[in-house]
Amino acid sequence: MKKGFKDFLLEINTEELPAGCVMPALESLYNAFIGQFTALGIDFDPDVSAGLRMATKNTLVCYIKDVSPTQRTALKEVLGPPKRIAFDEKGNPTKQAVGFAKNQGVDVSELKFKQTPKGEYLVFEKQEASRATKDILREIIPVMIKGISFAKTMRWDDSGLRFARPIESVLALFGNESISVSVGNVAQKKITVTPERYLKTLKRSCLIDASERKIKIRKMILDAAKKNGADPKADEKLLEEVTFMVNLPEAFTGSFNKEFLDLPEEVLRASMAKHQRVFPVMKRGMLINKFVAIIDGKGRDENKVKRNYENILEAKLKDSLFFYEEDTKKVFSGNAPQLKDLIFQKDLGNMFEKNQRLKELSGFICDSLGISGSLKSDAQRAGELSKSDLLTHMVGEFPSLQGIMGREYALKSGEKKEVSEAIGEHYLPQGIDDALPKSIAGAILAISDKIDNVAGFVGMSSGKLSGSFDPFGIRRNALGLIRIIKDRSFRIELGPLIKKAIGLYGGKLKIGPSELKKTIIDYIKDRIGFLMGNVRPLELKEAVLGAGGCDISDIFKRLDAVLSMKDSEYFLRAAKVVERTGNILKGAGKEKIGEVNKDLLRDDPERAVWDAYLKSKDEIKDLIDKEEYSDATRKYAETFYEALHEFFDKVLVNTEDRPLRMNRLAMMKAVNSLYAERVADLARLPQIVVKG
């Protein structure tokens, strides 16, 4: 540690915070300090790993090592009069120079000259006052605490202070000195100890380190599973939550009556997670009648606690069984009258209509893919039933089981297995890492649902899509449908599908169909670009997305092809052809370019280009149609590179003779679009250099 540098620690003790907000709160606090320190010129150790670990349900510890005791001193330049005014011919300071020096409280000899765009000026390099970090901390800590962002905040006393839950006390240590912090009516802890020592004390009383705690809990669950001969798996989402519910984890394994295993697996999981935050146990992929509970604190009477957990779980499962039996008394149907009362979105009609739209869209997708017969009718039937489970008791109790219960109840009502599976999978994928539908009918229905959501949500809003604010999950829906189509290599042009989806809303949408379609396609292309990941050069994404329509599988195919040949000579030559023709066309601005008139081709080099075009265009188009992009590129380069070189050398495209100019532009367009509109608009690449 540098001399005088000290560790800084801020501990906020609260009543139990919501599990999901603990780490984001700590991150927000830590980043705010780092940001302030940087802005104020206070040096610190930027190693995040130490500072961003210590957090429990009721403690946030922001720990920053090696913080300088004072601000870095900066020299601030104060500009004085220009040199020519500040000194006379003899080089003596004028009144102006003396006055300026006086104002700065120094002698003229302490001033310097500085070259500026306006000439040479007199300047004073002023040493800014440096403040003690301790004093700055006292000022900024309350601001930092109040600035932590939470989804929801509350008041608890007359101070009006807001936080996710009441703050009990605050401790701020800089070195071994505690800094008094005045925030609301919150109590201050005052002790004389270094942050390092204090952390040691904390670690003795609980597992303050969140990642250590998580690892320990995971191990407890896996050990318990091992003891029962079960699969070593832990529900990671639940694990994350439980990590912020217990400070000193202890585990036990409980069991429940086997009769409850008749309930769908997801119901058991949901009940365990929601009502008790206990972990299900699987053997060879099947749930068994056991669970692992993680409880907080040492010295519990494990037998009694376990018996209570078991009794309560059975009571809750009994309730699930009640829902299940009530729900299965009714036939699962796509046109239950109550569906018309169930609103999809305020301006987008009801769930009966949604079922009908998904039936239509699934049929449309099948037709586009050339799917007919039972697969098509299954996908359509699944669409018709897709939202019906929203009426059931079980989904009312466990909203996360939407789709899943549809699958179960459809099966119980005698629907085909394929139909039920498709219903069960149509909300997939829920997130960026989530699994995709396993069945084809499920994939088709999932695409239908997502394109219907995107069309509706974009169409009912202002049509403006913002990156961060996405209350309807438009981004999730768009990414989901791209992933499914790509994964399945479905060949489907999105334009007509989006048009169909918009049309099915029958005038409910606020934006006109063609404008809306364009907005959605642009948005989806943007998301495709995001999914393309780290492509170098970045412009390749644009080049590929800028060519052709919106056939997702083809876009990725073209991207792969372009990436695999991007360093080859023929690719660079093809790129040069597209670039040069593209540049000429750009220069033509908005002039309307027509067809090539053979009779207007005067010079040999231009006739050579046109002959090459006529000779090879069909072959190139054919290769592109067959998606043999590498061969197509090679052929394109061979056909045009030399000929164009000659052409540009000898022929002036932008001649004064308008008919001639327009004819040459038409030829440039034909050559350019042959590749740029079908494979990749390589004119967008940065500086293309062809060797040799």
Partner 1 sequence: MKKLSFVEVVARLNEFWARQGCIIMQPLDTEVGAGTFHPATFFKSLGHEPWRAAYVQPSRRPTDGRYADNPLRMQFYYQYQVLVKPTPSNIKKLYLESLKYLGIDTKTHEVRFVEDDWESPTLGASGLGWEVWLDSLEITQFTYFQQIGGKELDKISCEITYGLERICMFIQNRFNVFDLEWQDGLKYGDIYRQQEIEYSKYNFDEANIDMYLKMFESFEQEAANLINKGLLYPAYSFVLRASHAFNVLDARGAVSQGERPRYIGRIRSLSKRCAELYLAPKPDKEEA
Binding footprint of partner 1 on the chain (CB under 8 A) = 15-20, 152, 154-158, 164-166, 168, 185, 245, 275-278, 293, 295-297, 299-301, 304-305, 308-309, 311-316, 318-319, 322, 338, 340-343, 350, 391
For the CB of residue 14, give the shortest distance to partner 1 in the complex, in Å: 11
| Closer to partner 1 by Cβ: residue 158 or 567 | 158
Q: How far is the CB of 64 from partner 1 (least distance, A)?
A: 29
- In whole angstroms, how close is the CB of 305 to partner 1 at the nearest point? 5
Tell the smallest beta-carbon distance from residue 150 to partner 1 (Å).
10
Nearer Cβ to partner 1, position 15 or 560? 15
Nearer to partner 1, 296 or 569 (CB): 296
Q: Which SS3 state, helix, strand or coil, does residue 152 take?
A: coil
Annotate 573-618 with DSSP letters as a single string: HHHHHHHHHHHHHHHTTTPPP----GGG--SHHHHHHHHHHHHHHH
Least distance (Å) between residue 125 CB and partner 1: 53
Chain CA centroid to CA 230, Å: 35
Nearest to 228 by CA among 260, 259, 251: 251
439: which 2 tokens? 């069945």
What's the min distance (Å) between Cβ of 311 and partner 1?
Answer: 4
- DSSP for residue 261: G
Cβ closer to partner 1: 168 or 240? 168
Q: Rounded to an integer, what distance in angstroms lies between the CA atom of residue 81 and that of residue 122?
A: 6
b/e for 224-244, b at 16 or more Cβ within 10 A? bbeeeebbeebbeebbeebbb
As a whole number of angstroms, the distance between CA 289 and CA 270 comes to 14
CA distance 282 to 269: 11
What SS3 state is found at 284? coil
CB < 8 Å & 24+ apart, contacts of 389-394: 389/332, 389/423, 390/342, 390/351, 391/336, 391/338, 391/339, 391/342, 392/323, 392/327, 393/323, 393/326, 393/327, 394/267, 394/320, 394/323, 394/324, 394/327
CB nearer to partner 1: pick between 271 and 448: 271
- For 201, 334, 376, 483, 504, the CA distances from 357, given in Å and listed in that order, are 62, 12, 15, 22, 6
Q: Would you report the helix, strand and coil content of the chain in percent, each value rounded to 5? A: 55, 15, 30
CB of 169 to partner 1, least distance (A): 10
CB of 138 to partner 1, least distance (A): 23
Q: Which is nearer to partner 1, 322 or 530 (CB)?
A: 322
Of 72 and 274, CB closest to partner 1: 274
Cα dihedral sign for 464, 468, 470, 474? Answer: positive
Instruction: CB nearer to partner 1: give 113 or 156.
Output: 156
> Smallest distance, Å, CB 10 to partner 1?
21
For partner 1, the closer CB: 156 or 648: 156
Provide the angle, in degrees to the nearest 10, between the axes of the packed helices 133-147 and 22-40: 140
Judged by beta carbon, residue 305 or residue 588, the one nearer partner 1 is 305
Q: Pick the closest to residue 362 from 348, 350, 376, 349 (CA basis).
A: 376
Minimum gap (Å) between residue 682 Cβ and partner 1: 54
Q: Is 216 exposed, middle or buried (0-12, 13-18, 19+ CB in 10 A)?
A: middle
Nearer to partner 1, 48 or 343 (CB): 343
Least CB distance to partner 1 at residue 16 (A):
4
